[in-house]
């Protein structure tokens, strides 16, 4: 039953929430057991996710998407519908997320064992997984945005997990706020879509676009909307120019970095672009491709010179995310998503090995009672190959995959991406050639910095005593590493190590047909009307469903055909670039043919430019942050002294006027009154002299009076 599968995936979504609730409310009772409980719950979740994915991919494969919608609430005239839906990419992501989350849980049971807030940590991991799974199985923008924000907040909690450290608290805040900047665009995009189509459901919106209804009746606005939506991905997937939060996010515990970088959070952005791929116009796609290419190149160049183990991996993540975005931007839907999955495994492996190394270094530091050595600086490591062989082995496999060496999964996906960029550039021409050029440069640099890292950290002599005393870790740490390394081989995806399209993955993840009107879309992304298919599709040209095409005799569209032509050329250049990078790395750090130190001095400006990450943090500090703070400061001043000042001034004026009237009242009005009484009193006091009180005097006066009256009247 399709409904059962959907229900199953819904349960997959809810289970991590249960883990969160159990650990947050009963964590203190569980104590150290909370890690095991969390891991166990995620194990169940993983099993269910695999069942759901199997059902969708192989049992109900003919249905493009199994979904449901319910009314969340309605306002009488406007409905707010939400729902969940699983298509092929969603179920694959379900497995990716739950598997990596499970491995991270397992890894953390050892890695975090000394932490005071052990249960809280597992609770947050549960919340994080829940939020990411929510993004995966949603089929509408509203839920997407909700889980999007939840991912933001859980990343905030986890990155700032060690909040006693100011830098960790800052990093969490920075991640959240930088993401919110992207969310701003995302939300505006959602508002435009809701305004135009009165729905959040992907189906409604896509069919609305296909029927020719445009936001603000203007096809350009569709591009703008697409870019707005993509801004969400820029924030979450750490694309240029909002990539600055990701390196700082390394402040979180290392397993969290693995989770963020491989399965949750950064994958969300790419997943979003994949999910709504069909609504991007040609211009929006160009924007996306360019953003991805710039990101890939920029962060690869930064990674060349970093010293911190985790920072190098962080920039490599940004760079690889750039690849995915670039691939989606040039129209390589399948390869973009393919790289998301392959990258998830080997990047998780790399971060967990980094965790393993750092854990061992910390143990050693603890043992030595040395508090000055930086456990994450690769110049303090060296020779770990001997002390930590399993870690080294898994690290090497993941490094091969990341560098795009044949027989790894990374080779398959990266090759497909680069072929896609060549095809794209060939089809569009002009300045679009920048994109493959940046892509290939990044590929070369990737190989270089990964081998630099390997050589400095694992090869050679022990650079410090600390490194000498490191020990290989226990099974809960090693098991995830080995499993992830195994998943980084080609055979997981395709029987042919040089041809991804022969594998199950490419068969299941087929590029959907764009719903954007032809006038706003690349010609080469529109379906080619083969004789047999013309009839099928002619009936319903705006059909957004996945179009199944058999790869042997026909291509989905011209882009597909072109990529296929470029396949071997792309592979050749890619191998050449990787080999060049590796060779340079060996020459500089292993055989010391080129003196890295001298080079650094020679190109001091370039080095510090790269080392300081192209000065983006400083730039933002100087402009956005200082600007906002200055604005808020001046507004606050304005509020206190001008607005409130006016209020106080008016009260002052009124008080002043009232004082004046008070004076007037006292001296003029009351003065007049007093004067009248004073005058009367004065007269009285004069006249009263006559009042002697002597009766005889009164009689005399009376007599005089009578005489006077007699004189006058008689």
Partner 1 sequence: MQGAINFPILTLITFLPALGILIILLIPSGKDKEAIDLSKKTIKWVSLGITFIQLILAAIIYVFYNSAKTGINDINTFQFVEKVNWIHANLPLIGNIDIDYFLGIDGISVPMLLLTTIICFVAILPSFKITKAVKGYFAMYLLLDLGMVGVFCALDFFLFYVFWELMLLPMYFLIGIWGGPRKEYAAIKFFIYTLVGSVLMLLVMIGLFQSVGTFNILDMMDPANFKAGAILSGSATTLRYAAFLALFIGFAIKVPLFPFHTWLPDAHVEAPTPISVILAGVLLKMGAYGMIRIAFPIFPEAFGYFQSLIAWIGMISILYGALCALGQHRVGKRDLKKLIAYSSISHMGLVMLGLSSMRPEGMVGAIFQMFNHGTITAMLFMIVGVIYDRAHTRGLDDFGGLAKKMPVYTGIMAIAFFAAIGLPGLSGFISEVLVFLGAFKTFPVLTAVSVLSIILGAGYMLWALQKIFFGELPNKWKGPWDPTGIEYKTDDINGLELTALIPLAVIIIFLGIYPNPMIDLISGSVNHFIDLMKPFVFIGGL
Partner 2 sequence: MHIGLVHYLVVSALLFSMGLFAIISRKHAILVLMGIELVLNAANINFIAFAKYGGMNIEGHVAAIFVIILAATEAAIALAIILNIYQHFRHVNVDEVDDLKE
Residues that bind partner 2 (CB under 8 A): 691-696, 699-700, 703
Supply the minimum distance, in Å, between the C-beta of residue 168 and partner 1.
8
Among partner 2, partner 1, none, the one that 679 touches (CB under a kind-dependent 5 to 8 A) is: none
Partner that binds at residue 495, options partner 2, partner 1, none, CB closer than 5 to 8 Å by kind:
none
In the list partner 2, partner 1, none, the entry touching 7 (Cβ below 5 to 8 angstroms by class) is: none
687's contact among partner 2, partner 1, none, with CB below 5 to 8 A by partner kind, is: none
To partner 2, the closest distance from the beta carbon of 688 in angstroms equals 8
Q: Which of the 8 DSSP states describes residue 220?
A: H
Task: At 549, give phi and psi (nearest 5°).
Answer: -125, 140
CB of 172 to partner 1, least distance (A): 8
Q: Which does 700 bind (CB under 5 to 8 A by kind): partner 2, partner 1, none?
A: partner 2
Minimum distance, C-beta of residue 680 to partner 1, in the bound complex (Å): 40
For partner 2, give the closer residue by CB, 75 or 695. 695
Least CB distance from residue 697 to partner 2, whole Å?
A: 9
Q: Rounded distance, CA 599 to CA 67, Å?
A: 57
Supply the DSSP symbol for 370: -
Kindly report the number of other CB atoms within 10 A of residue 241's CB atom.
16
239 φ/ψ sector (left φ>0, alpha ψ -120 to 50, else beta): beta
- Closest contact distance (angstroms) between CB of 169 and partner 1 is 4
The listed partner (partner 2, partner 1, none) that binds 709, CB under 5 to 8 Å by sort, is: none
Say which entry of partner 2, partner 1, none residue 695 contacts (CB below 5 to 8 A, set by partner kind). partner 2
Residue closer to partner 1, measured from CB, 504 or 638:
638
Q: How far is the CB of 698 from partner 2 (least distance, A)?
A: 9
Q: Which does 369 bind (CB under 5 to 8 A by kind): partner 2, partner 1, none?
A: none
Sign of CA dihedral 549, 553, 556, 562: positive
Q: What angle do CA 459, 464, 465 make, to 5 degrees?
A: 115
Query: How many Cβ atoms from other residues are within 10 Å of residue 449's Cβ?
Result: 26
Long-range contacts of 57-60 (CB under 8 A, 24+ apart): 57/88, 57/91, 57/92, 57/504, 57/508, 59/5, 60/2, 60/5
Three-state DSSP at 536 gives: helix
Compare residues 178 and 319 and give the one whose CB is closer to partner 1.
178
The answer for residues whose C-beta is within 8 angstroms of residue 228's C-beta and 6 or more apart is 185, 186, 188, 189, 192
Partner in contact with 76, chosen from partner 1, partner 2, none, beta carbon below 5 to 8 Å by kind: partner 1
Q: Shortest approach of partner 1 to residue 194 CB, angstroms? A: 5
Considering the complex, state which of residue 167 and residue 692 has its C-beta at the smaller distance from partner 2.
Answer: 692
The item of partner 1, partner 2, none sharing an interface with residue 150, based on CB under 5 to 8 Å by kind, is partner 1
Contact between 225 and 189 (Cβ < 8 Å):
yes
3-state SS, 580-616, equals HHHHHHHHHHHCCCCCHHHHHHHCHHHHHHHHCHHHH
Burial pattern 80-90, b for ≥16 Cβ within 10 A else e, equals ebbbbbbbbbb
With helix as H, strand as E and coil as C, how does 31-67 read? CCHHHHHHHHHHHHHHHHHHHHHHHHHHHCCCCCEEE
Question: How far is C-alpha 547 from the chain's CA centre?
Answer: 31
Q: How many residues does the chain have?
A: 714
User: Closest CB to partner 2 among 623 and 692?
Assistant: 692
By beta-carbon proximity to partner 1, the closer residue of 13 and 349 is 13
Closer by beta carbon to partner 2, 3 or else 694: 694
Nearer to partner 2, 31 or 705 (CB): 705
379 makes contact, choosing from partner 1, partner 2, none, with CB < 5 to 8 Å by partner type, with none
Residue whose CB is less far from partner 1, 173 or 565: 173
- Judged by beta carbon, residue 180 or residue 362, the one nearer partner 1 is 180
CB of 142 to partner 1, least distance (A): 8
Nearer to partner 1, 17 or 580 (CB): 17
Contacts to partner 1 by CB under 8 A: 24, 73-78, 142, 145-147, 149-150, 153, 156, 160, 163-164, 166, 169-170, 173, 176-177, 180-181, 183-184, 187-188, 191-192, 194-196, 216-217, 628-629, 631-637, 639-640, 643-644, 647, 651
- Position of tokens 């994949």? 274
Instruction: Report the Cα 590 to chain-centroid distance in Å.
Output: 37
The three-state secondary structure class of 331 is coil
Q: Is the peptide bond before 241 cis (omega within 30 degrees of 0)?
A: yes
Minimal distance in Å, beta carbon 660 to partner 1?
A: 19
User: In the complex, what is the shortest distance from the CB of residue 691 to partner 2, in angstroms, rounded to a whole number?
Assistant: 6
Q: How far apart are the first and last CA of the chain?
A: 139
Question: C-beta of 683: minimal distance to partner 2 in Å?
Answer: 17
Q: At what angle do helices 266-275 and 333-368 cross, to 10 degrees?
A: 170
How far is Cα 589 from Cα 454, in angstroms, rounded to an integer?
A: 10
Q: Crossing angle of helices 266-275/118-137, nearest 10°?
A: 10
Q: Is 527 helix (H, G, I), strand (E, B) or coil?
A: strand
- 217 or 696: CB nearest partner 1: 217
Please state the separation of Cα 565 from the chain's center in Å.
Answer: 35
Residue 696 interaction partner, one of partner 2, partner 1, none, beta carbon < 5-8 Å per kind: partner 2
User: Shortest Cβ distance from residue 662 to partner 2 (Å)?
Assistant: 38
The entry of partner 1, partner 2, none near residue 632 (CB within 5 to 8 angstroms by kind) is partner 1
186 or 614: whose CB is closer to partner 1? 186
Beta bridge partners, 697, equal none
């Amino acid at each position: 039953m399709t409904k059962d599968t959907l229900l199953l995936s819904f349960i997959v979504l809810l289970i991590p929430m249960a883990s969160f609730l159990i650990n947050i409310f009963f964590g203190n009772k569980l104590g150290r057991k909370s890690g095991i409980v969390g891991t166990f719950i995620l194990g169940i979740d993983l099993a269910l996710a695999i069942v759901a994915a199997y059902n969708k991919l192989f049992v109900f494969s003919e249905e493009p998407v199994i979904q449901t919608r319910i009314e969340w609430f309605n306002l009488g005239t406007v409905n707010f519908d939400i729902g969940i839906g699983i298509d092929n990419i969603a179920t694959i992501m379900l497995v990716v997320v739950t598997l990596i989350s499970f491995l991270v849980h397992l890894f953390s049971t050892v890695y975090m064992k000394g932490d005071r807030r052990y249960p809280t940590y597992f609770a947050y991991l549960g919340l994080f997984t829940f939020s990411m799974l929510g993004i995966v199985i949603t089929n509408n923008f509203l839920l997407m945005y909700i889980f999007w924000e939840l991912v933001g907040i859980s990343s905030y909690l986890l990155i700032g997990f060690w909040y006693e450290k100011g830098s960790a608290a800052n990093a969490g805040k920075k991640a959240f706020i930088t993401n919110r900047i992207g969310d701003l665009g995302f939300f505006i995009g959602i508002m435009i879509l809701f305004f135009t189509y009165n729905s959040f459901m992907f189906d409604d919106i896509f069919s609305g676009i296909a029927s020719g209804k445009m936001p603000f009746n203007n096809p350009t606005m569709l591009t703008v909307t697409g870019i707005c939506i993509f801004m969400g991905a820029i924030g979450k997937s750490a694309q240029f120019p909002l990539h600055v939060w990701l390196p700082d996010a390394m402040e979180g515990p290392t397993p969290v970095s693995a989770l963020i970088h491989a399965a949750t959070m950064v994958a969300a952005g790419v997943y979003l672009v994949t999910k709504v791929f069909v609504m991007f116009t040609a211009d929006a796609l160009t924007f996306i491709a360019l953003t991805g290419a710039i990101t890939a190149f920029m962060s690869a160049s930064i990674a060349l010179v970093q010293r911190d183990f985790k920072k190098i991996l962080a920039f490599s993540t940004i760079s690889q995310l750039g690849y995915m975005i670039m691939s989606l931007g040039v129209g390589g839907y399948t390869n973009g998503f393919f790289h998301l999955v392959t990258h998830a495994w080997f990047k998780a492996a790399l971060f967990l090995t980094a965790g393993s190394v750092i854990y061992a270094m910390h143990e050693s530091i603890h043992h030595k009672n040395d508090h000055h050595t930086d456990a994450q600086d690769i110049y303090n490591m060296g020779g770990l190959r001997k002390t930590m062989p399993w870690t080294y082995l898994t690290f090497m496999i993941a490094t091969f995959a990341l560098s795009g060496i044949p027989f790894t999964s990374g080779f398959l996906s990266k090759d497909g991406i680069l072929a896609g960029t060549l095809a794209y550039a060939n089809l569009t021409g002009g300045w679009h050639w920048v994109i493959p050029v940046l892509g290939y440069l990044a590929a070369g640099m990737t190989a270089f910095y990964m081998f630099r890292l390997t050589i400095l950290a694992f090869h050679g002599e022990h650079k410090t005593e600390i490194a000498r005393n490191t020990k290989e870790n226990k099974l809960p740490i090693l098991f995830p590493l080995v499993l992830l390394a195994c998943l980084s081989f080609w055979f997981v995806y395709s029987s042919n190590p040089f041809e991804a399209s022969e594998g199950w993955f490419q068969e299941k993840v087929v590029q959907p047909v764009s719903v954007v009107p032809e006038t706003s879309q690349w010609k080469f992304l529109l379906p080619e009307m083969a004789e047999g298919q013309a009839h099928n599709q002619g009936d319903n040209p705006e059909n957004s469903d996945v179009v199944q095409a058999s790869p042997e005799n026909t291509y989905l569209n011209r882009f597909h055909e072109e990529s296929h032509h470029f396949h071997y050329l792309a592979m050749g250049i890619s191998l050449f670039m990787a080999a060049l990078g590796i060779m340079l790395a060996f020459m500089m750090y292993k055989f010391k043919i080129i003196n890295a130190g001298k080079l650094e001095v020679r190109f001091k400006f370039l080095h510090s430019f790269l080392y300081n990450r192209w000065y983006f943090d400083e730039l933002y500090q100087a402009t956005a942050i200082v600007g906002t703070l200055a604005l808020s400061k001046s507004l606050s001043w304005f509020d206190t002294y001008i607005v409130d000042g006016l209020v106080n001034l008016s009260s002052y004026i009124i008080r002043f006027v009232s004082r004046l009237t008070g004076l007037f009242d006292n001296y003029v009005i009351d003065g007049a009154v007093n004067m009248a009484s004073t005058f009367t009193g004065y007269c009285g006091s004069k006249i009263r002299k006559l009042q002697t009180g002597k009766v005889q005097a009164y009689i005399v006066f009376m007599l005089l009076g009578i005489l006077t009256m007699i004189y006058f009247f008689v």
